[in-house]
Amino acid sequence: MKKISPFAKNSRESSTACHMADALKFLIRVAADAGLRSTSFELSDIRENLLQLVERGKRHSAGNGESAAPSTQNQKCNQNEGTADSEKSSFSEFEKNESNVRFYCREMRAVFSRAVNARVWDEDGVEYIDFLSGCGSLNYGHNHPVIKARVIDYLIGDGVLSGLDLHTNAKREFLREFCQTILVPRGLDYRVAFTGPTGTNAVEAALKLARKITGRRPVVAFTGAFHGMTLGAVAAAARNDHRHSAGFPLADVVRLPFDGYQEAGHVELHRYEAMVNDPAGGLELPAAFIVETIQGEGGLNVAGSEWLQELAAIAKRLGALLIVDDIQAGCGRTGEFFSFSYAGIHPDLVCLAKSLGGIGLPMALLLIKPAYDQWAPGENNGTFRGNNLAFVAATTALQLWHDARFLASLSQSADLIRSWIDRLTTDFGIAGVYQRGRGMMSGVAFANHGTARRAAAEAFRQGLLIETSGAHSEVLKLMPPLTIEHDVLQQGLSRLRDSIEVALIKDRLKPAA
């Protein structure tokens, strides 16, 4: 039995909703072909314009030998015409047994079963284009063939899987590749600490080490920040709902405005420095500053290079360590392996995770300048810090950074996204649409905070996986794999534009409050 759409109450509503969505997309395409730009709509008269578009659509279709009936972009609508019992069966095991804390599956109601690079299929065979990439953990796509083959070979050869911090050949090969491919060409000198499987493990280790080295407790974090959900990391997070979830007082964090927050810039950094140095300023010397160069969960806010340089200089003057959380923005997401390269800074500590594991395998590490490698043996540890299968995948993924074709394709994909966003903001700037982010970590912000969520929901109906970001979920966050085929990228961008147009029209059709 086929399943019902999660966005309709019954199969008839599902079918009607799908056909209406297809009709709207058809009219939008007709409008574009007829030279009627969406931004030229006098949206207060949208109903009249839609009637005019119907007539244009009939003439346009007749002139091109096309049927005026709308066509579906993918199989979703046809497969949605099922029964409520079918959907209940599809999701019942999850809803019965999995915690209420689950999140993404509520936004994207499907049971996924197969994935290749930037394409994912659900158990009904419906295909989706992935602009989510496991929230940045799949920079090299789903099941990259070279990485997958190496992982399979390692398993077949009975390689060590969990090794704590024991020496293994898989770890040695990773360390050698990471130093030779990533650190040495960039003139960087770091020790590598394997902290555990997730990014928040690396953040906790960084905060602990900074406090140990300096003998101080306060840490400076920024508006819009997200660093993880364990106690130390969530204390540095900015969102109130994340902080309240700790159920515990979160102390020893000083909050400063991120670059551009309410027009903030260097002045706020200098004022903080002056207050710390003033005996009557009321602030203690900090142990560290922790910052994301691009705030992944905070709305794709980008720190300017001069602001980052000034932040690094102030940290040095105050005797504090500069920690860059490169968990989501790193591993090539911005075009360079490290997101901070554009600013020309050398952080004291760098947190890496997510796509470091190459193929979605959990792996995290902390890069430490040699002078600050002051751990006592075993002072920071974790059972799964020796995930050798992840080391194998990570080593293979790093070798892609020698491949000129990979680098050229990455640059071209970033250019395609930027050009697409530029066209979008030109066409819809009057509706409050703005560019955010950088490289393959770019996005579109909306003045109407509900537009992004409506566009993301419509995108899912059109076969595109994408999430929102920002304090009000006001940013559509484009994070396709770095390895996405350019034709698939273009197809995904086309679906996303259709979804945004539908969301913008819905915004204007909403009755006035």
State pLDDT tens for residues 320-347: 999 999 999 999 999 999 999 999 999 9
What's residue 509's pLDDT? 60
Please check whether residues 304 and 434 belong to one and the same domain.
no
pLDDT tens digits along 262-275? 999 999 999 999 99
Same domain, 423 and 285: no
Say if 357 falls within a structural domain.
no
SS3 category, 55: helix
Indicate whether 184 belongs to any domain: no
Q: Are residues 41 and 114 in the same domain?
A: yes
Instruction: Look over the chain and give the mean of its residue pLDDT values, rounded to a whole number.
Output: 86
Q: Do 308 and 245 share a structural domain?
A: yes
Could you tell me if 118 and 207 lie in one domain?
no
For residue 223, the 8-state DSSP code is T
The answer to whether residue 171 is domain-embedded is no
pLDDT recorded at residue 508: 76
The number of C-alpha atoms within 13 Å of 329 and in the hemisphere containing its C-beta is 31
Contact in structure between 365 and 192 (CB atoms under 8 Å): yes
| Domain of residue 50, CATH code | 3.90.1150.10
Nearest CA to 21 out of 501, 509, 478 is that of 501
Rounded Cα distance, 295 and 470, in Å = 9
| Domain final position from 352, 384, 417 | 352
Which of 330, 352, 374 terminates a domain? The answer is 352
**Domain shared by 422 and 498, yes or no:** yes
Residue 5 belongs to some domain of the structure: no
Euclidean distance between CA atoms 399 and 63, whole angstroms = 53
Same domain, 272 and 414: no
Task: Please check whether residue 168 is in contact with residue 390, taking contact to mean a CB–CB distance below 8 angstroms.
Answer: no
Domain annotation covers residue 455: yes
| Domain match, 410 and 327 both | no
Q: Same domain for 119 and 18?
A: yes
Residue 120 lies in a domain: yes
Residue 150 lies in a domain: no
For residue 239, being part of any structural domain is answered with yes
Q: Tell me the CA distances in angstroms from 250 to 146, 231, 232, one per residue in order.
A: 44, 8, 8
Q: How far apart are CA 355 and CA 278, in angstroms?
A: 43
Are 30 and 113 in a shared domain? yes
Domain around 423 = 11-136+405-509
Number of domains the chain is built from: 2
pLDDT tens, residue by residue, 178-234: 999 999 999 999 999 999 899 999 999 999 999 999 999 999 999 999 999 999 999
What is the per-residue pLDDT across 447-488, written as a single tens digit (0 to 9) for each? Answer: 999 999 999 999 999 999 999 999 999 999 999 999 999 999
- pLDDT band of 242, cuts 50, 70, 90: confident
Amino acid at 155: L
Q: Are residues 321 and 440 in the same domain?
A: no
Domain with residue 257: its CATH number is 3.40.640.10
- Looking at residue 379, its pLDDT comes to 94
Positive or negative, the Cα torsion across 395, 398, 404, 407?
positive
Structure confidence at residue 79 (pLDDT): 47
Same domain flag for 409 and 348: no
- Helices vs strands, H then E, count in the chain: 17, 17
